[in-house]
Every structure is written in C-alpha cells, then in structure tokens.
Structure 1
Amino acid sequence: MAEMSKYIIFELNSERFAINIQQVRSIEKLPELTTMPQMPESMKGIFELRGAITPVIDLKEKLEMGQANNDEETRILILTIDEKPLGVIVDKATEVVDIDESTIEAPPEMVAGVDREYITGVAKSGEQLIVILDLDRILYYEEYNVS
C-alpha cells in the first residue's frame, strides 16, 4: 500500500517547492515586521503571532535566490523549528497535496538553483516537478533567536 504524506506547495521565483505539512503551524499574510539591530541578512524582522514573538526570514534570500516579493500573494509559512515558531516568506502558497513517498526521487546535484544538501527529494505532480526542501538543514533556530 502506498505511503502518502501531505505537503504544502509554495513558489519561489515561479519554481514549485514543498515541505511536509507537519512542519507548518499556519499560513499568514505578510504582516508589518519590526526590524531588530544586527539581524542576520536573511532575517526580515519579528512580529507577534498568537502571543509568541516570531522571527521571520526571507527563504529566497536564505537560498540565494534573490529577495521575496511583497504583493497580494506573498505569504509567511509559520513553522516549528526546535519547538519554536519561525516564519518564512514565500512568493505564494498554492496548495496542499498528497505525495506518494515511494515516488520521491533522490535529488540531483542542484535543482532550481538550490543546493542538494537542502533538498530531501524531487516528486512529480502531473508534468511538474516539485522540489521537497529539508527545512531542518536550511534553518537553525539559534541563528534567528531573538529572546
């Protein structure tokens, strides 16, 4: 029997990426962010979400893919990293899909300009490839800790 997992599909520079839905607390519109002195370059600021101070990073900048858009479709994925909230800005969050784990292939050396070490695998959805990111490798909470 196929082992299906749910993934959130989002876009960076019109490329489709996915992360396991279990890592995502919520999807929010981009709020007004408060900047902090001496923040890492990819950190865009902090905001309060349901009583928790949440650092926000630009995932495109972190992956060296340019800078996030700031338009009607821009979203923040609120993740849990090291049991704390962390927001990542994406160009667009498009859908939740079921992916058969057995269809996920090992990543090539580089996909969509993203280094292999940050990729869990590549899945096919119809004719499109979806790059599944390994957020634990990309994000370290300590780097963005503001408390």
Structure 2
Amino acid sequence: MDMRNEATHIARQDGARAASAQQGSAEFLTFRLGAEEYGIDILRVQEIRSYEEPTRIANAPSFIKGVVNLRGVIVPVVDLRVKLGCEKVEYNGFTVVIVLNVRGRVVGAVVDSVSDVLELSGEHIKPAPEMNTSVDTSFITGIGSVGERMLILMDIEALMSSADMGLMDSAQVLQ
C-alpha cells in the first residue's frame, strides 16, 4: 500500500469511526450518474439549476464543460460523469447542474438527475471498500444504505478542490 492509499485508508477508517461513534445523522443530496446513485453533504449545495450549455473555455480539461454567468458570478461547470469516468449519457430534461459552495468558491456540477434529500444516521453508513487500483477513490467517504438503495457518499469538497481539477489555487486547498 503506497503512502497516498494508506492515508486514504486511515481517513476512511477515521470517518467511518466518527460517523458510527456519534450515531448522529447527516443530510445528503442524492443524484444519479448513469446507473449509480451518489450522495453529497447538503450543506455544500447552494442551488439546483436546469442544465444550460456553458461557454466553453479553450484548452480546458474535458470534464470542465465551461462557465456560466450566475447572477453576475462566473461559475466553472464540471461534468461529473466525465470526471468520474462514467459512460457518456446524453443531456436531457432531467440533466441538472448542482451549484456548490466549495471553500468559498462557487462551482457547478453536471449530473444526470437529482433524486432527493436523505437523512442518514451513522448506522446506515459503512466505510468505503478498499480497492487496490490506480483509480483515485480518496473522495469516497462511505456507502450509505437505505432499504435496497446503496449510495456512494462522496466528499464533494475534496473532489472539487483536488489538484487535477485546477479549480482552487494552492492557498485555498491548504485551508
């Protein structure tokens, strides 16, 4: 296990222990990317908007679809399907942009659809499985289960502020 994977493993264990120790609950906005359902901390969500074609930025990575003007604020828009390696899905009437506040910066995330808001207690959150792959799964904080539903819980702040995203400067990331 390399140092990054080891640190990720320790962070996941600590997160899972904290969740089960407090047995408190947290609210998650759930959304779909392809066949999978994900959950993010509702406190990071500023609003949900219908998808509109962003203005493309030259030489931007493929997962950055461009920027939109949100009431005078220029907001970068990230397609989470592309970022997370999901199969291509056509944009349709259900496609939405989740507007997030990440470390004081507004960022949009394109998803297939938004499902609902769920309150999960620590007993419904299990640690994320360890995967011995080269894929970065450090942003996955756990797996939530509600009946037959399984949610991949993600730290959207960690994902959006990762160095490969290029959305935050190093001073913001270190905060």
Unaligned segments of structure 1, at least 5 residues: none
Among 103, 107, 110, the alignment partner of 1:86 is: 107
Shift of 1:102: 3.5
TM-score (norm 1): 0.87
Give the letter aligned to residue 38 of structure 2: F
4+ long deviations beyond 4 Å: none
After superposition, the C-alpha distances for 1:39-82 in whole angstroms (9 at most, x for unaligned) are: 12210010011221110011011111133530010011101122
Structure-2 residue corresponding to 1:74:
95
Name the SS of the counterpart of 2:123 in structure 1.
Answer: helix
Identity of aligned residues (%): 28
TM-score (norm 2): 0.74
In 1, Cα distance between equivalents of 2:155 and 2:23: 22
Shift of 1:105: 0.7
Unaligned segments of structure 2, at least 5 residues: 1-21, 169-175
Contact 1:78 1:88 survives alignment (8 Å):
yes
Structure-1 residue corresponding to 2:140:
119
Name the SS of the counterpart of 1:80 in structure 2.
Answer: strand
Shift of 1:109: 2.7
Structure-1 residue corresponding to 2:116:
95
State the aligned residue count. Answer: 142
**Which structure is larger by alpha-carbon Rg, 1 or 2?**
2
Larger strand proportion of the pair: 1
Task: Determine if the alignment matches structure 1 residue 54 to structure 2 residue 75.
Answer: yes
Name the SS of the counterpart of 1:73 in structure 2.
Answer: coil
Name the SS of the counterpart of 1:61 in structure 2.
Answer: helix
Matches within 5 A, 1:31-50: 31-50=52-71
Name the SS of the counterpart of 2:166 in structure 1.
Answer: helix
Name the SS of the counterpart of 1:137 in structure 2.
Answer: helix
